[in-house]
Structure 1
């Protein structure tokens, strides 16, 4: 990997107590695979996978997929690659959070909610990204949240509290991950520079260890175009905290998820031993927590563009497996609501901001409710809806409810649910994912396809 020569003289290897990536028995996962369909660049169903792009739409379930088809007006790129479903419960809970789910999807072991990279007894678990690195592959993490958030952290960090993002940042920099792209610059800077670290400047440390640093879209594109052959890694931190919602990204200097994915692939493919890349569409989950249907669908669209980048590369490369799997459902989104027999999710295409932003544009007496919602959501409110928003203790929630109702999108929760999640796969041995699984099986199947020791 790119960073081994530089970092090898700066630290000693970490001994992991857990061995979460035991190679799955091939016979267990060979379910009559006769090879992938034409155009999938797969060849033999038993062809070794050299590269893996593990794509995680946080909070995404089958109802998100169904509503997205209505929103888009046609199938999503992943629909024809559906392979199976899987369960998501945590070690001590029927409903998982992103830390426990990410750990299961990264290590093959269940753990408690809030815990990253450790088993319930506190033992470190080796992740599939780390196992890939041990066999010489390059690695990368991409997210629209802070890069230190629960899901990306689960693949390269080991902490008992997902909220300890400064420690996660330290571990990410001291790991052998070659590409880190997302938000969360404050978690890498010292307090003297308005960051969250006590003293350490992890950005400077990362540079010393061989990572180039970029902090806006233009720099990302320029650095990737010019320096992909330098055999250096890349650290891109494009916001102090999380990146902006997709609805607002056009007004920033932040790259899209697709652009970050493309740049990560461009850097990582220079390693002739292969690579392991994790890409998270983080804010689908946040939109689900807010029951904000327009934000959810726009971020699913941004995630689909990133999946298209991955599949295009896999199609040309022929040795790359793309796996798309959400970590859990968020919000209990329904496909249809309020007794309607029609799906109107396409009207969400007209919404240009989040409900939270619309609420922030209301004046003190909320006398401009009608104009704000008309301007940003293209919805003509009834008098009753105007009064509901004016009188609500949570104007953003009231706006989101009305927008969802108009789109025939329902919600059952503002938290995660225990719904089963679809898994899609494209490339060599994609059919290994066929069937009904536990989320802990996913990294074991991937390890099997990569023939990890």
Structure 2
């Protein structure tokens, strides 16, 4: 055996043992009964699995691949299905099992007929393939009717063996053990649903610990074979995932890093005072916070990530909004935003217009007509669909320059977000920021100016300030909200504020759990600031909802004490599921129940007595 081969064997053995400190990847996949796949060898090989299993029968000098003796087919030989394809791959990979020299492959051959004769036939067959037995990243391992460990030394060094738990191997024998395998049913009756009972978990842990103490990866056969089982096995540090569903496990492991997240930055939540007796009968002001793409699963992922606490989960008035658009079961942000902004269902991609394209009066416009001050804030592009639905009228959401033009005639008092290009780097060469300045707006393309602006009418747009939380965005939403509230509450007129957390939606489209959780927690901190304002003001109603859910997120596992969560996204687009509506302050009880998204607008207009 060469030094490189020995190092390769050690790498295979210890890579799986140390998997708990790394990400599980395709090297942990054991393609059980691989020959039963529609495309034996190649399907598993293309996923770069770590283990491929073939059961063999010795029949008239040939090694036939089959599960039962009655299934033997003289055309399905070990050489045809596995040895020759492997030889071709190794030749293409310049002597390695995979093109990636860091990837190792174990060909597990389960001896179904009398061990000594079958193993002798296997050795003779392998000698016909010197590239296989000389490959430093391929290991030939036998299982099934194996010879006793004390006889292993009779066989060539290129033959390795499937170990068993509880066996006192000598040092030399242990060197020939590729991995340790055992029947799952001998230690647990778990069917893959729910949790493994503690007694059985302890028994499994003891076997795993024994294998790891020998420096060997652990595999169980006869296991439940589903997502919940794979998760639990990874948690148990079972190094090798025995599966009949190679493609599904491969996809699960590929997506696992983006589907999982552990949050270490915990924020303290605010406890609302619920001084209901001090609240006015109806609100004077309304703060509407829209978490774009935020369904209940997104909120709960944030709750888990924040170690079991969220500001929004302190609220007791909860309803659900049905988000369908006029022309589709699944809304987009344009139709969803327009429904809340105008009280009318419209087509997807339409902003502030009805299904025929006629302009609708927005909530912001009605508020201005009734002598309210209005603020619109987003941690995304301010001309994107949701914020635009409150001030613009266009039959296509992508018309960002036309949407920006609409703002100049909206009379909205405060606008904060990204999207400066649509205002000052336009195809028509207009500079709308200059035009707004001439209308007595304080205008800035630096978000830091929000701390020093003195005017009660201002537009602050800076793209660099609205990058994602992952890329370093600071407390943009909370600062925008609190600074704007300071301006609005310092005036005699009532106010309406719409604040959007735009990028929860972006995390859903990206199917990225960390993205979603970080954005949810950022928005929740703004919710906490709004709750504090309600308690200080007593005549402001706070509403938090979403335009739709994004990603079809389900939560597969988590640990609240650790702030870790594992999700699964069923789509990279929106879904039709109803979204929660939370409310706090005078009139909050009106938002209980289940209703169409248009009712949010109608309830607000009724409470504010808008004409």
Same-fold call, TM cutoff 0.5: yes
Match of 1:168 among 403, 421, 433: 403
TM-score, length of structure 2 as denominator length:
0.54
d(CA) in 1 for partners of 2:599, 2:561: 35
Which of 100, 109, 117 is residue 352 of structure 2 equivalent to?
Answer: 117
Specify which of 99, 104, 113 is matched with residue 339 of structure 2. 104
Is the 2:280–2:539 Cα contact (8 Å) retained in structure 1?
no
Which of 282, 288, 296 pairs up with 2:502? 282
Kindly indicate whether residue 573 of structure 2 is the aligned counterpart of residue 419 of structure 1.
Answer: no
The answer to whether the 8 Å contact 1:41/1:314 transfers is no
User: What's 2:292 paired with?
Assistant: 58
Compare the two structures and name the one with the higher strand fraction. 2
SS at match of 2:531: helix
**Deviation for aligned residue 1:89:** 0.5
Q: CA offset at residue 249 of structure 1?
A: 2.7
Aligned-partner SS, 1:327: coil
1:12-71 residue CA offsets vs partner (Å, 9 max, x unmatched):
xxxxxxxxxxxxxxxxxxxxxxxxx98235447871211111000000001111211111
The alpha-carbon distance between structure 1 residues 452 and 72, as it changes in their structure 2 partners (threshold 3 A), is same
Please list the CA deviations of residues 206-254 of structure 1 after superposition, one character each: whole Å capped at 9, or x if unmatched.
111111122234221122xxx1xx4x301000117x820012235xxx7
Q: 1:263: how far off?
A: 1.5
Task: Report deviation, 1:186.
Answer: 0.5
Paired residues for 1:325-336 under 5 Å: 325-336=545-556
| 3-state DSSP of counterpart to 2:466 | coil
Cα distance in 2 for partners of 1:291, 1:348 equals 19
Superposed CA deviations along residues 312-347 of structure 1, whole A, max 9, x for unmatched, are 1111011100100011000011011xxxxx414887
Per-residue CA distance 1:244-281 (angstroms, 9 max, x = gap): 0012235xxx7611111112112222331210000000
**Range with greater deviation from structure 2 (204-213 or 90-99):** 204-213
Alpha-carbon distance between aligned partners in 1 of 2:596 and 2:545, rounded to the nearest angstrom: 12
Q: 1:216 to 1:347 in 2, by over 3 A?
A: farther
2:539 aligned residue: 319
Does the CA-based 8 Å contact 1:187-1:197 persist in structure 2?
no
Equivalent position SS for 1:425? strand
CA distance in 1, matches of 2:427, 2:370: 32
Alpha-carbon distance in 1 for matches of 2:479, 2:538: 21
* Counterpart position of 1:235: 459
Is the Cα–Cα contact under 8 Å of residues 278 and 538 in structure 2 kept in the other structure? no
* Aligned residue among 17, 23, 47 for 2:281: 47
User: Counterparts of 2:275 and 2:286 in 1: how far apart (Å)?
Assistant: 14
Please, which runs of 5 or more residues in structure 1 have no aligned partner?
1-36, 190-194, 337-341, 350-406
CA contact (8 A) 2:308 2:560 kept: no
What is residue 137 of structure 1 aligned with on the other side? 372
Distance 2:560 2:409 in 1: 44
Question: Normalising to structure 1: TM-score of the pair?
Answer: 0.72
Aligned residues: 340
The Cα shift of 1:187 comes to 0.6
In the other structure, the counterpart of 2:165 is none
Structure 1 contact 144–243 (Cα < 8 Å) conserved: yes
> CA offset at residue 437 of structure 1?
0.8
Larger radius of gyration: 2
Q: Is the 8 A contact 1:188 1:197 kept in 2?
A: no
Over 3 Å counting, the alpha-carbon distance change for 1:205 and 1:288 in structure 2 is same
> Given that residues 119 and 125 in structure 1 are in contact (C-alpha distance below 8 angstroms), is that contact kept between their aligned partners in structure 2?
yes
Structure 2 residue ranges without an equivalent (≥5): 1-270
What is the DSSP-based 3-state SS (H/G/I as helix, E as strand, rest coil) of the residue aligned with 1:307? helix
